[in-house]
Structure 1
Amino acid sequence: MTRPRRLAVCADDYGQGAAVDRGILALAQQGRLTAFSCLVTSPRWAHAGLALPDGGVATGLHVNLTEGEPLSPALRKHWPRFPRLGALIALAHLGRLPAALAGEVQEQLRRFVDVTGRGPAFIDGHQHVHALPGVRPLVLAMARGLHLPVRNTGRVLGPGFPVKRRVIEACGGRQLTECLHGLGLPAATALLGVYDFDPRADYRALMRGWLREAPDGALLFCHPAEGTADPGDAIGAARVREMAYLASDAFTADLAEFGVVLG
């Protein structure tokens, strides 16, 4: 008998909005997630963080450097608001990130702990910023000190979207993988879940492609939201569609068909 392949399923952006938070908590209660990552820079984090479950699903720090405002006063002097992703990538590869970034990453960790009363179970990054040059060493130092897993963006698999997958790998993902192995930090064998958030996309077809390719020990990230999308959410329609599938019997049937178990 073929041994089932294990897959971690992590929902991103908890704390971003009411619909996102409802969806993630509902899926966690259903046992459809193994983890979710928390956006502690959000104004609603102080409330959302109090609703985290006590067990059964891992909750991690979703380091944010591209949306909203910095938490640390020192970084706000440089960036009253975080730059957009493209600008951050350019600054990172030019070696022009402000030194105050180190304090911001630590402040986001402190914010997680202050609200939840415990440390994160893992670290990743909003829009995968944790792998960028200049950010990667800060995240790795934190992970090494706390011996935490870090989302591995160095091997991104799945159907279609090869340019987006290769960009994620090339913008620090491959170097991150080398560092994780060198430091002996736990990491997933591959990353799945990349697509363009097109509202017309067939999310189940995409999922079946990811499940078909998933190696044992891979991680799939998702972005669910329950009910009406939060106002101003650029990918709100995609979030609602993801939620509908992940909460359905079709998801469990597809897991069984491809010999994949959550864990």
Structure 2
Amino acid sequence: MTRSIRLIADDYGLAPGVSSAILDLIERGRLTGTSCMTGFAEWEEAAARIRPLRQQAAVGLHLTLTDQIAVTGSSSLAPEGKLPGLASLALPVRRGRIDERDVHAELDAQYDRFTEALAGPPDHIDGHQHVHFLPVVRHWLLARFGESARRPALRGAPGLSGLDAAAKVAAIATLAAGFNRAMQRAGFSLMTPLSGIYDWRQPEKFASTLRAALDTLPEQGVFMCHPGHVDDVLRARDPMQGAREAEFTVLSSQDFGVSLDKAGTRVMDGRA
């Protein structure tokens, strides 16, 4: 029996080269879908390109609270309009300086930009640098969707992983402690377990991380990935560059198709 797993590409909308690579892989049937960053000036153009694929791909919202320009401008969250580093959100001693209302306003703005450009809600929600696991974002999810009849699916906590990524997986799992149970209790469906975690500063490790997931992910488990083509916009916005080209090469390759067959696995359809 063939096992179906979800392959979700993060960061659609981050840069034109990233968006083009993700669209290419969706059209080839190599991705279940993608999660969108809606805060950039090019978002409406990127949304127009992916809108025709919503019938075949899962299109979600990639909540962004770190390192980029804030949609809502300057606030306690984003002094001078720039979102902070992850430590400023995750460490309690620093987090107390940020007004939760400013965080929620930013998340509302990103969500509204998604629904306006794509004429409907996201199929799922996750977070850039896993910020959706933070308490302040959990509060927003519960406030925004707690009484909704149509809640988006949420990306859940990571599962077990190889030794190469053990420390990174443990750090993310700590951030996500209690998330799955609390969100399921509130009526959300969870995409879990999460895999695809590796040291992106070593792009050569992506292929083995993917092969391991093909062999071990349970039915409907989720593998996150970050394929893309490097362009000047990406160079200006994000340090993750070489790994994106490496991931695109693997995911678009004939070898990947062979690996799926050998593992008795298929990429889950985005509308399943």
> C-alpha deviations, 1:118-176, integer Å up to 9, x for none?
221111111110111111121243344231101102x33322211110111111x1211
What is the DSSP-based 3-state SS (H/G/I as helix, E as strand, rest coil) of the residue aligned with 1:55? Answer: coil
Identical amino acids, percent of aligned pairs:
28
Distance in 1 of aligned mates of 2:255 and 2:145: 36
> C-alpha deviations, 1:90-135, integer Å up to 9, x for none?
1488555312211111111111112222221111111110111111
Q: Structure 2, unaligned stretches of length 5 or more?
A: none
Aligned pairs for 1:51-62 (under 5 A) are 51-52=49-50, 53-62=53-62
Q: Which residue is equivalent to 2:88?
A: 87
Q: 1:227 to 1:100 in 2, by over 3 A?
A: closer
Q: Which residue is equivalent to 1:123?
A: 125
Q: Which moved more, 1:66-75 or 1:97-106?
A: 66-75
What is the DSSP-based 3-state SS (H/G/I as helix, E as strand, rest coil) of the residue aligned with 2:98? Answer: coil
The answer as to whether partners of 2:74 and 2:82 remain within 8 angstroms in 1 is no
> C-alpha deviations, 1:200-254, integer Å up to 9, x for none?
5232222111222212221000000136573233111000000000001111111
Number of residue pairs the alignment of both structures matches = 259
What is the DSSP-based 3-state SS (H/G/I as helix, E as strand, rest coil) of the residue aligned with 2:126? Answer: strand
Q: Which residue is equivalent to 2:178?
A: 175
Query: In the alignment, which of 147, 151, 156 is matched to residue 152 of structure 1?
Result: 156
Q: Which residue is equivalent to 2:41?
A: 43
Q: By how many angstroms is 1:4 displaced?
A: 2.5
Q: Under a length normalisation based on structure 2, what TM-score does the superposition of the two structures give? A: 0.88
What is the DSSP-based 3-state SS (H/G/I as helix, E as strand, rest coil) of the residue aligned with 2:5? Answer: strand
Q: Which residue is equivalent to 1:20?
A: 18
> C-alpha deviations, 1:9-51, integer Å up to 9, x for none?
1000001111101100000000111110000012221211111
Distance in 1 of aligned mates of 2:221 and 2:231: 30
Q: Which residue is equivalent to 2:28?
A: 30
Q: Which residue is equivalent to 2:170?
A: 166
The answer as to whether partners of 1:157 and 1:213 remain within 8 angstroms in 2 is no
The answer as to whether partners of 2:15 and 2:231 remain within 8 angstroms in 1 is no
Q: Which residue is equivalent to 1:257?
A: 262
Q: By how many angstroms is 1:178 displaced?
A: 1.0
Amino acid in structure 1 at the alignment position of 2:61: L
1:222 and 2:225 aligned: yes
The answer as to whether partners of 1:123 and 1:143 remain within 8 angstroms in 2 is no
Distance in 2 of aligned mates of 1:60 and 1:26: 17
Q: 1:190 to 1:137 in 2, by over 3 A?
A: same
Q: Which residue is equivalent to 1:70?
A: 70
Distance in 2 of aligned mates of 1:23 and 1:78: 30
Q: 1:197 to 1:73 in 2, by over 3 A?
A: closer
What is the DSSP-based 3-state SS (H/G/I as helix, E as strand, rest coil) of the residue aligned with 1:179? Answer: helix
> C-alpha deviations, 1:41-76, integer Å up to 9, x for none?
122212111111242001111110002122124737
Q: By how many angstroms is 1:188 displaced?
A: 2.0
CA RMSD of aligned residues (A): 2.1
What is the DSSP-based 3-state SS (H/G/I as helix, E as strand, rest coil) of the residue aligned with 1:100? Answer: helix
Distance in 1 of aligned mates of 2:160 and 2:208: 15
Amino acid in structure 2 at the alignment position of 1:249: Q
Distance in 2 of aligned mates of 1:35 and 1:92: 37
